[in-house]
A and B are shown apart, each in its own frame.
Chain A
């Protein structure tokens, strides 16, 4: 019972801090929502509205069918249908076209005879990622049409699958949302904890708390519990927004996702405590949190840049980023619908990291008293 009243008071006090700092509060509430929209729409590796030029010197049923396919795919917007390739150069240079599909004359005849019907795909590869994405979209459109012709009955059933694959919004936000959760949680938990703890040091109130009968553990828990709650609300916000706005699937257990989210918040909180224990001003704490956790969690977690394509040293380094493991877990639950049966190694790693960080942060909090 002892000091329980004090502990509750400490929580209430932290609540006041959060509620009365309007600007920070606004950031805490609005940030996750805005981030999801920003990342969901702006940062995207897939393409849409590809400006397509078609060169079809001798239209026949086959080229017309394919041209329809391109239109129906939803990704392409046909900007020009030309009889010859002469104009293409100008279209590419001016940016009017990003991709061109060239059919050879007598396309349908070649198909009928069983000889190779040739089609060329030209892509503006100024941005190589976009270029290769556009290229594979175009190739896929042609291949799917080919497959349908091979087995006419199955053809109708294939169509919706093609559309799924080509829906760009779904594809990229599916990948981003789990990473975004990690990012938002890191900001809220690590940054806010580090700042709120160092603020007490700056204002001298930490000293008074330490001189009081409250135990250091109570002080820490009292300080970070409100941020645990806010972090949890953020997960709910991001997941809800992902479901409602971006229709990201949530195939696995919601409970498991939330539990793993809590675990990751704990990891981030512990990091925040650790940072605040090593710094004495809010500004340094903020820089520390930004440089030490947020940037690596964005760059090295596989959130935006695939880990597989990183240099080996960075790949190795990404293993010590808690965000990396959380992103794997969140993607597994949301997109693949797998449970702990598959994700237990990642969960264990995250758990171990959390325990180590919690131990280190409590320890350095004690050491700080010296």
Chain B
């Protein structure tokens, strides 16, 4: 708790993310309203919610982009108020736009992000090599990202987000606009990352993807309407699918049972 920069040696406390009564208001509007939840280290956590339910605001607070109005949150064991810098070094982030520079080559993109996360030239070289080999895209290493297929771009962006071996990776609608097969392959990559110990925090609009998560939460109007394993959530609402729960919650637009 000694401010930023005290980073490295500190062991991650049990939960990867621990939010208590986390709140953010914009003027009179409460975007995120006292949400409390934990994400366990190494799990795949699905963060669901309709557009405008407050997902983005919550993610911005957890990634250190936005200061909370009130409440508490620790990400990778660091406080979002006082240790934003340490948080930034320990998380990865990928948005639905894939966050790569289209006019830079694959290799140049990797080198850029490696440099930003303070990797040495050797580390960058080795990891780039491994990554391209794993993805099976060595042949396009020198191509501009704008010229490679969408599916490759998406996998590449995910790998780049994992390049600095973060404790938690935030994926904001990572599978928007890609075909079902690529989506499936992408989820295999997510499982691989989780198996390697990385906590995955993922938002999605695809309810079948929600079923792949270890645990999910569904945000409704700034609050958490449901949280638990997909089976628990379905059971709780007496529903057959997460989709059903989601639609019911979104329609009511009032929090179901309180989070906690």
Genuine A/B complex: yes
**A interface residues with partner B (beta carbon < 8 Å):** 2-3, 5-6, 8-10, 12-13, 16-17, 20-21, 203-205, 207-214, 369-370
Q: A16-B108, A203-B102 are in contact. Are A212 and B95 (CB under 8 A)?
A: no
The answer to whether B102 touches A9 (Cβ under 8 A) is no
CA distance A134 to B89 in the complex (A): 71
Q: A6-B115, A211-B88 are in contact. Are A205 and B99 (CB under 8 A)?
A: yes
B208 within 8 A of A: no
B108 near A13: Cβ-Cβ < 8 Å: yes
Write out, one digit per residue, whether chain B residues 114-127 have a CB within 8 A of any chain A CB (1) or not (0). Answer: 11111100000000
The residue on B at minimum CB distance from A16 is B104
Whether the Cβ atoms of B108 and A6 lie closer than 8 Å is no
Name the CB-closest residue of B to A17. B103
B115 touches A213 (CB 8 A): no
Chain A residues near B116: list those with CB within 8 A.
3, 6, 9-10, 209, 212-214
Near A by CB (< 8 A), chain B positions 199-237 give none
Give the distance in Å from the alpha carbon of A5 to the alpha carbon of B64 in the complex. 22
Other-chain contact of B65, A3, A8, A204, A369 (Cβ < 8 Å)? A369
B63 near A211 with CB under 8 A, answer yes
Q: Could you say which residues of chain B place their CB within 8 Å of the CB of A6? A: 115-118
Question: Do A205 and B117 contact each other (CB < 8 Å), given the known contacts A212-B88, A213-B89?
Answer: no
Can you name 5 A-B pairs with beta carbons within 8 Å? A3-B118, A5-B115, A204-B97, A208-B93, A369-B65
- Bound complex: CA of A209 vs CA of B113, how far in Å? 9
In the assembled complex, the CB of B70 is this many whole angstroms from the nearest CB of chain A, namely: 15
* Cα of A369 to Cα of B93 in the assembled complex, Å: 16
Q: Which residues of B contact A370 (CB under 8 A)?
A: 26, 66-67
Cα(A3)–Cα(B100), bound, Å: 19
- Contact partners of A204 in chain B: CB under 8 A: 95-99
Given contacts A3-B116, A211-B93, A214-B116, contact A13 B104 (CB under 8 A): yes
Q: Does B111 lie at the interface of the complex (its beta carbon under 8 Å from any beta carbon of A)? A: yes
Task: From B88, B103, B108, give the contact of A213 (CB < 8 A).
Answer: B88
Query: Bound complex: CA of A210 vs CA of B87, how far in Å?
Result: 12
Q: Which residue of B lies closest to A21 (CB)?
A: B103
In whole angstroms, how far apart are the Cα atoms of A203 and B99 in the complex?
7
Complex interface: chain A residues within 8 A of B170 (CB): 211
Q: Can you name the residue of chain A whose Cβ is closest to the Cβ of B64?
A: A211
Chain A residues with Cβ below 8 Å from B64 are 211
Partner of A207, one of B89, B95, B104, B118: B95
Q: How far is the CA of A358 from the CA of B210 in the complex (A)?
A: 45
CB distance from B9 to the nearest CB of A (A): 16
CB neighbours (8 Å) of B94 from chain A are 208
Residue of B at shortest CB range from A214?
A: B116
Given contacts A208-B113, A211-B88, A211-B91, 7 further A-B contacts (CB under 8 A): A6-B115, A6-B116, A16-B104, A204-B96, A204-B98, A209-B116, A213-B88
**CA separation between A207 and B111, bound complex, in Å?**
18
Q: Does B85 contact A (CB under 8 A)?
A: yes
Contact in complex: B91, A2 (CB < 8 Å): no
Contacts of A12 in B (CB 8 A): 112
Cα distance, A157 to B173, chains bound together (Å):
82
Residue of A nearest to B160 (CB): A208
Give the distance in Å from the alpha carbon of A2 to the alpha carbon of B116 in the complex: 9
Q: Taking the nearest CB of chain A, how far is it from the CB of B201, in angstroms? A: 12
Complex formed: what's the CA distance from A344 to B99 in Å? 46
B95 / chain A contacts, CB cutoff of 8 Å: 204, 207-208
Chain A to chain B: the 3 pairs with minimum beta-carbon distance, closest first: A204-B97, A9-B115, A6-B116
With a CB–CB cut-off of 8 A, which chain A residues contact B113? 208, 212
Q: Give chain A residues whose Cβ lies under 8 Å from the Cβ of B118.
A: 2-3, 5-6, 213
Give the distance to chain B from A206, nearest Cβ to Cβ, in Å.
9
A9 to B114, CA, bound (A): 9
Chain A's closest residue to B92 (CB) is A211
Q: How far apart sit A244 and B90, CA to CA, in the bound complex (Å)?
A: 56
Q: Which chain A positions have C-beta within 8 A of B97? A: 203-205
Contact in complex: B117, A16 (CB < 8 Å): no
Closest residue of chain A to B119 (Cβ to Cβ) is: A5
B115 surroundings in chain A (CB, below 8 A): 5-6, 8-10
**Contact between chains at B104 and A211 (CB < 8 Å):** no
Contact of B85 among A21, A207, A210, A213 (CB under 8 A): A213
CB <8 Å contact, B65 and A10: no
Closest CB-CB distance, B108 to chain A, in whole Å?
7
**Most chain B CB neighbours (cut-off 10 Å) among A8, A209, A212, A214:** A212
| Residues in B neighbouring A3, C-beta threshold 8 A | 116, 118
- For A210, the closest partner residue in chain B by CB is B65
Residues of B within 8 A of A205 (CB): 97, 99-101
User: How far apart sit A214 and B66, CA to CA, in the bound complex (Å)?
Assistant: 15
Separation of A336 and B170 alpha carbons in the complex (Å): 61
With a cutoff of 8 Å between Cβ atoms, the chain B residues found around residue A212 in the complex are 88, 93, 113, 116-117
Q: List chain B residues, Cβ under 8 A from A16.
A: 101, 103-104, 108
Nearest-neighbour CB distance to chain A for B104, whole angstroms, equals: 6
B residues in contact with A13, CB < 8 Å:
101, 104, 108, 112
- Which residues of chain A are within 8 angstroms of B112 by Cβ–Cβ distance? 9-10, 12-13
